[in-house]
Amino acid sequence: MKVTIVGTGYVGLVTGACLAEIGNDVFCVDVDPRKIEILNNGGVPIHEPGLQEMLRRTRAAGRIQFSTDVKASVEHGDIQFIAVGTPPDEDGSADLQYVLAAARNIGKYSNGFKVIVDKSTVPVGTALQVRRVVEEELKARGLDASDKHGFSVVSNPEFLKEGAAVDDFMRPDRIVIGIDGDRAGDVAREKMKRLYAPFNRNHERTLYMDVRSAEFTKYAANAMLATRISFMNDLSNLADTVGADIEAVRRGIGSDPRIGYHFLYAGCGYGGSCFPKDVQALAQTARENGHTLRILEAVEAVNSDQKEVLVNKITKRMGEDLRGRTFAVWGLAFKPNTDDMREASSRRIVEALLARGATVRAYDPVARDEAERVFALDLVDRPEDMKRVHFVRTQQDALAGADALVIVTEWKEFKSPDFAHLKSALKLPVIFDGRNLYEPEAMAELGIDYYAIGRPHVELDRNGQANAGN
């Protein structure tokens, strides 16, 4: 099938590569010539495991192309995926300007029946706005949407985890498709069924529903996952106060199959391109319709506060004035296996350390360049602070001359370090762990002063016995 992907970000590139992998003829278009140049030269503008190899195969097979030619992209695909960004506006609502611009181009250059697929995360009612924009453009051309230039707007939200997006697309747990119940919708349903047939061979994964419900489903899914994270983070702070171990609590409640273990890890807050903006957008949709989603407003507030918890532990141990102190920071991306720095907890934590006069030596296996770019923007009005953050190339380089280690992202290479070397490299044997990678008693036995999230601080007495305290 001939497919067009509008937008070459995480969702667009993964969608295009995976659809090309299974044999479709895919045309990826973007208004950013820099991205297209990178892709045409064999590179990838984002880090996503497995994506570059897949693009190499599909490009060599002639099943995927990249261009800034909007007219050619519309003429190419019977199915037009809109996979552009929907950044938050000041009030938290999703900014649809890029979605509607893509829709306008489809109407402007349409050369036949088009299935227009909203792949971007968009609020309820967006499909109707897309429909109106396309109709306006067709009308301006003197064309009737009911003739051969007809179209159907479909909602097909993505459920891709950054760092595992290729696998999520190729082995989906569900495919949600929202379609209008009219003649054009019937045509669109058959085309979408054919497109996704390779993913349904073992068993049917597609869930068909109305468009508004499909749009709602995406926000509801991310809001639920964000809620679980904030719930555990809120509990972790109480565990700190009462002397409980949040990891023991997690195992205790996660063993209940009605609850499960997914997204029950306490940490230093969620980030990324989805959870923060989707929680805000759904809450804003509720306000616009006269409702208050009190749980989601609490989820957002807890997450914002959680990004300060690790800093509070640092200042409690080392004082508010951190001038003359150097901190090694392991992990900058908002999660492992990505270079995405959007809403990353590291941004708040590093900026807070710098504001107190500290020097930071930061390391991330993948996000180093992106982090340097982002911090340069974040600290554009604080040039003296920017001089005190150094982006290094190895985790050992980060430790050099540092007073203590701060762990922000749970990359695999951080899970089993050489603790003897780590201890000797630090001026003080202190770790502030925002992801609970290690066991407090084991750290105490190694002579490391270890502070985690919602876990007791353990010290050794004179007899070498571990004693837990708050």
Q: Per-residue pLDDT tens for 44-94?
A: 999 999 999 999 999 999 999 999 999 999 999 999 999 999 988 888 888
Helix (H, G, I), strand (E, B) or coil at 130: helix
> Is 368 a residue whose pLDDT tops 70?
yes
Q: What is the pTM of this model?
A: 0.92
Mark whether 297 and 412 lie in a shared domain: no
Mark whether 360 and 232 lie in a shared domain: no
Q: Residue 134 domain-assigned?
A: yes
> Is 463 a residue whose pLDDT tops 60?
no
Residue 435 · residue 407 · CB < 8 Å: yes
- Angle of helix 211-242 relative to helix 246-254, nearest 10 degrees, comes to 140
Which phi and psi angles does 66 have, rounded to 5°? Answer: -130, 135
CA distances from 350 to 81, 144, 275, 393 (A): 38, 56, 21, 17
Residue-number span of the structural domain to which 400 is assigned: 307-469
Tell me the pLDDT band of 469, cut-offs 50, 70 and 90: low
35 among annotated binding-site residues? yes
Pairing of strands 79-82, 449-451: unpaired
387 among annotated binding-site residues? no
Q: What pLDDT does 381 receive?
A: 95
Q: d(Cα 168, Cα 456) in Å, to the nearest integer? A: 36
Q: How many CB atoms lie within 10 A of CB 164?
A: 16
Chain centroid offset of residue 296 CA: 18
Residue 117 · residue 195 · CB < 8 Å: no
348 among annotated binding-site residues? no
Give the chain's domain count.
Answer: 3
Q: Which residue in 376, 362, 364, 373 sits closest to 326, CA to CA? A: 362
**Which of residues 175, 209, 243 is at a domain's end?**
209
| CATH code for the domain in which residue 47 is found | 3.40.50.720
Q: What pLDDT does 147 receive?
A: 63
Is 274 considered catalytic here? yes
> Is 470 a residue whose pLDDT tops 60?
no
Identified catalytic residue from 18, 28, 268, 274: 274
> Is 127 a residue whose pLDDT tops 70?
yes
Residues whose CB falls within 8 Å of the CB of residue 223, separated by 6 or more in sequence, listed in order: 278, 279, 282, 296, 299
- Bridge partners, residue 451, by sequence: 432
Residues whose CB falls within 8 Å of the CB of residue 469, separated by 6 or more in sequence, listed in order: 243, 456, 457, 458, 459
Q: Residue 85 domain-assigned?
A: yes
